[in-house]
Structure 1
Amino acid sequence: MTSVFDTVSGRVRGRAPDRGAVAVLGIPYAEPPFGAARFREPRPRHAWTGIRDCVEFGPVSPQSAELPGAPSWSPGDEDILGLNVWTPESGNGAAGRRLPVLVWIHGGAYTFGSSAQPDFDGTALARAGLVVVTLNYRIGFEGFGHVPDDGEDACPPNRGLLDQIAALEWVRDSIASFGGDPDNVTVAGQSAGATSVACLMTMDGARGLFRRAIAHSAVGPVFAPELAEHVTRQVAAEAAIAATHAGLAAASAHTLVRASDAVVEGFRQDPHSGRLSWDPVIFGPVADGHLLRADPLDLVAAGAAPDIDLLVCHTTQEYWLMGAVGSCAEVTTEEELARFAEDFGLPDSLPADYRRLVPEATVRDVHLAVYGDLSFGEYSNRLAAAHARSGGRTFLSRFARQRGGSGPGAYAWHCADIPFAFGNLAEESVHFLIGGPPTPADHRLSDRMVAAWAGFAATGDPGWEPVADASPDAIRIWGTVDPAAGPDFWRDDEALRALWRAFTYRPEQP
């Protein structure tokens, strides 16, 4: 099989076949979004001549994070809108059969992460019969910060989502050369990537670019415009620049990254900053009324995407990861727990109701459980239920695999499901997430999850029945609970979900 492929912008050469797949890395899908193009919609990539070698991951979006095994951003890197393709070494379109395509959108609180993280390697999924695409998009201020109009050419909100649409358009125009079927595309993501997927399901600009969607640990809700404007004022003040188009455009990407990090830390240290004091996420999709008309949960419930098949998953102990890495405030007293509930507008009885489900739980356990379900679990369940009620074919699953005992442990926490679904358990960088080197049982679980993704992307059938209303009798549970690995609030699914009935998600305000 040749490793030279035609794209809409020119020919590219990938790596030599390895483990049954060919990887073509760092393919530009749009022009660098800097200079005159900064804070604007992505522009089509200019064509090149000859064959472009695409054997290394491209530059990542501006950020301060340094993630294990992945490249970090260097100030001056501008050609950040690139993507990667893995295609099976044999059996592609040369034989006349186009393969289903899976397009992956990484998470990272809309602030960090990239397509080059080792757990997103597409080799195993390519061996399962998919053409896999992973992409970089603008994150942080570059992708989601509010930029006031300059009176000439408006800077759109949700630029990161527009980048994702541009990548999907590239897939439509170029993926057949890699053996992929442009009419059978599944867009998938986790955390911020999952909510990006939910947004894309409802956006006019993404209509017709994919037919299926996978959302793992969707996080909600999205931002109100007032919060985006408030954050811009905070970032501009920290950077000592004017909160205007001219002031922001004159500041380097590095300056805005540093200022954004300082604003986050300021919120952490200020208990009077309400919701933002607990685990500040200051960028995200904005319900601007135009590009994104409202929160995707409401739009899906109103029937915005009944023709798109949807597979939803979340983990049962999402926020235990944030507790382990220190990204959220420690809550150890009843007074702190009550303040947390008040800041988020939760029903007064909710923490006590959680403790009744698991009487042995500590205050910290209750806080992490409530925060995880508020941010990910309940939002994901409502997304599935809303899609099913509006006539969409919907599948729901939960990741419950834990590892306890005397060795390294791991909860069924945020991000732990993704190495299993990608089939990348051997990557050393994921061992913290999964609690050490994988066991034979872990490999078997991973094989089943890879097969579920491949089956869903190919035919819309992951291997179990669709749900009618997120009812527990049609939910696939991945893994088993280890009693030594922590409290299991999800042991009574119906009772837990009933606790949230009085709560309503609304776009985040300042």
Structure 2
Amino acid sequence: MDVRRTKDGSVRGHRPAPDVVAFLGIPYAAAPFGANRFREPRPVEAWQGVRECGHFGPVAPQSAWLPGAPSWSPGDEDILTLNVWTPASGAGQVPVLVWIHGGAYTFGSSAQPDFDGTALAGAGLVVVTFNYRLGFEGFGHIPAGAEPPYPENRGLLDQIAALRWVRENIAAFGGDPANVTVAGQSAGATSAACLMAMDRAAGLFRRVIAHSAVGPCYSTELAAETTRRVAEAAGITATAAQLTSATPHALVAASDRVVDGYRRDPDSGPRHYNPVIYGPVVDGEILPGDPLSGRAAGTSRAVDLLVSHTTEECWLMDAVGSTAKVTTDAQLARFAQDFRLPEAVVPGYRELMPAAAVLDVYLAIFGDLLFSEYTRRLAERHAQAGGRTFTSCFARHREAPEGVVRAWHCADVPFAFGTLDRKSAEFLVGGRPDAADHELSRRMMGAWVDFATTGDPGWSPLNGPTASPHVWDTADSPAGAQAPAARTLLADVDFSPLRLPDA
């Protein structure tokens, strides 16, 4: 049973546990380089014999190094691969969970230890994770000048190709192609939300789990301006000919220089605080509208949706130095002005956090602005359009001898995957997990399995904007759901696709 037949050829897996078989590094599309570079994903060339699938495939071009995961090496080309974990029993019609990794659309991969599917497969799912194009390769705008033109949102098109592979092949691994749940966190969660709005993805999945969706999406004008800056940093002109001739390494390095420029320039507006330069582009064709738009919500009303966010999202960004430091009242006022926040937001948060330092007030506002509020609005728009919707938040936060263990961005993922014992997860979860953490993980895994199986995670669906989310915490965690007062303060914030400052 460790050899399965896909439409492209046979694959042999291995057993990470006695009751689970894992197949790693299966190609779902051709290498997106050479003639395929910047194009829609192309079919895989079939192979003869049995392909050994005991190792993850190469990661997409990026400069990041993540604990326990492989890094990108220039020359690695077969990056469009996926991984399958399935119960070894061989029983058919098992619910399928397809995971889209996050990483600001710029870094990350399916090989991160946090995303190991062994525990979830042991709990009764077929788990699929995959790599997709990132950074300029996946989301950079290429001006007209080639025939056919280079499409926007190539990373999203890769995700659709992976889902098509699942529909065509997952039965060979015991999975039910009619019962597929797409799940993701951060950029992966927003990717899943975009797939809900895309006609090309219609019918490929039945449910979505979105943890810490980040918004908004980008306009084509802003994507074009990003291309201009990246081309300038690479020493080339922003034309299709020169951009497509630049090496992946050159575009990764140029993108990093652009990000560093925003980080160093306090006059660069919102990107000074959150220098994420790539993301889904609302081009009106591949991505017809932002996931929060009425059309998008209406298109996906038949999809069940489960959303979650953490209660202290941006404290992670501060800990790893990926967001600007805001430590004075003047800087906080400038931050509010740069994001065009309503006048009541800063004083309102100060009222809610009377003893907090300026940095903590900033991180609370920014975390709610980037993740929590966007995630909750995604849930509400889906419910308003008639979609079955469930909300939750991760609030595991406690004092420890070595400091505060926060419910920050990404901390919930190892709990939901059952990978919190991994060495690579120690930083995210605040040290070694205890018995209460393992019990919380079992509950979260159970909710994912139940939702993927039946569409019901175990609590009542959202029935209005005042409904309280299900809270994931341990006995020693303080109350953690996003305060209704904070949501009221952010009620007038606009999440329309980002545009140029003067547009």
**TM-score if structure 1 supplies the norm length?**
0.96
Question: AA paired with 1:21?
Answer: V
**Where does residue 401 of structure 2 map in the other structure?**
406
Q: Secondary structure of 1:296's partner? A: coil
Post-superposition shift, 1:381?
A: 0.4
Counterpart CA distance in 2 for 1:406 and 1:249 is 52
* Match in the other structure for 1:472: 467
Residues 117 and 17 (structure 1), Cα distance of their counterparts in 2 relative to 1, 3 Å cut: closer
Letter in 1 for 2:484: E
1:437-486 per-residue CA deviation (whole Å, 9 max, x = no partner) reads 0000000000000000000000001011101124334x210004857x9x
In structure 2, what is the equivalent of residue 225 of structure 1? 220
Shift of 1:410: 2.2
Aligned to 1:41: 40
Residues 1:495 and 2:494 aligned together: no
Q: Which among 357, 363, 368 is matched to residue 358 of structure 2? A: 363
Q: 1:17 to 1:316 in 2, by over 3 A?
A: closer
Q: CA deviation at 1:407?
A: 2.6
Q: Which one of 306, 313, 329 corresponds to residue 334 of structure 1?
A: 329
Whether the 8 Å contact between 2:217 and 2:279 is mirrored in structure 1 is yes
Evaluate the alpha carbon distance shift between residue 57 and residue 64 of structure 1 in structure 2; reply closer, same or farther with a 3 A threshold: same
Bigger Cα displacement from structure 2, 186-195 vs 16-25: 16-25
* TM-superposed deviation, 1:227: 0.7
Among 242, 256, 265, the residue aligned to 1:247: 242
Matched residue, 2:195: 200
Q: Is the 8 A contact 2:138 2:154 kept in 1?
A: yes
Alignment of 1:115-264 (within 5 A): 115-264=110-259
Q: What's the Cα RMSD here?
A: 1.4
1:504 aligned partner: 494
- Alpha-carbon separation, structure 2, partners of 1:8 and 1:202: 28
**Within-5 A mapping of 1:258-407:** 258-299=253-294, 302-407=297-402
Please state whether the residue corresponding to 2:308 is helix, strand or coil: strand
Percent identical = 62
1:22 is matched with 21
Q: Deviations over 1:123-177 (max 9, x none)?
A: 1100110000001000100000001122411100000000000000000000000
Match of 2:104, SS state, is coil
In 2, distance between residues paired with 1:470 and 1:101? Answer: 30
Stretch of structure 1 that moved more, 366-375 or 499-508: 499-508
Whole-Å Cα distance in 2 between the matches of residues 55 and 26 of structure 1? 7
Cα distance in structure 1, aligned partners of 2:476 and 2:328:
27
Distance 1:376 1:17, change over 3 A: closer
Tell me which stretches of 4 or more aligned residues in structure 1 moved more than 4 Å.
299-302, 480-483
Q: Does 1:75 align with 2:74?
A: yes
Maintained 8 Å contact 2:437/2:474: no
Which TM-score applies when normalising by structure 2? 0.97
User: Which whole-Å CA distance do the structure 1 matches of 2:146 and 2:481 have between them?
Assistant: 56
Give the whole-Å Cα distance in 1 for the aligned partners of 2:16 and 2:354.
54
Alpha-carbon distance in 2 for matches of 1:105, 1:193: 5
| Shift in Å, 1:91 | 4.7
SS at match of 1:268: helix
Preserved contact between residue 146 and residue 240 of structure 2 (Cα < 8 Å): no
Letter in 2 for 1:259: A
Residue 428 of structure 2 aligns with an amino acid whose one-letter code is L
Gaps of 5+ in 2: none
Contact 1:100 1:180 in 2 (8 A): yes
Maintained 8 Å contact 1:300/1:387: no
CA distance in 2, matches of 1:246, 1:277: 30
Kindly indicate whether the alpha-carbon contact (under 8 Å) linking 1:399 and 1:478 is maintained by their aligned counterparts in 2: yes
Separation in structure 2 between the aligned mates of residue 283 and residue 327 of structure 1, nearest angstrom: 15
The answer (yes or no) to whether the contact 2:210–2:306 under 8 Å persists in 1 is yes
| Offset at residue 408 of structure 1 (A) | 4.9
Return the alpha-carbon distance in structure 1 between the equivalents of residues 475 and 277 of structure 2.
Answer: 34
Secondary structure, in 3 states, of the residue corresponding to 2:399? Answer: coil
Alignment of 1:57-68 (within 5 A): 57-68=56-67
Q: Which moved more, 1:294-303 or 1:435-444?
A: 294-303
Aligned residues: 500
**In 2, are the aligned partners of 1:41 and 1:156 still within 8 Å (CA)?**
yes
Which residue, 389, 402, 412 being the options, matches 1:417?
Answer: 412
Q: Offset of 1:409 from its aligned partner?
A: 3.6
Please give the alpha-carbon distance, in whole angstroms, between the structure 2 residues aligned to 1:409 and 1:332.
19
Query: Are the counterparts in 2 of residues 410 and 432 from structure 1 also a CA contact under 8 Å?
Result: no
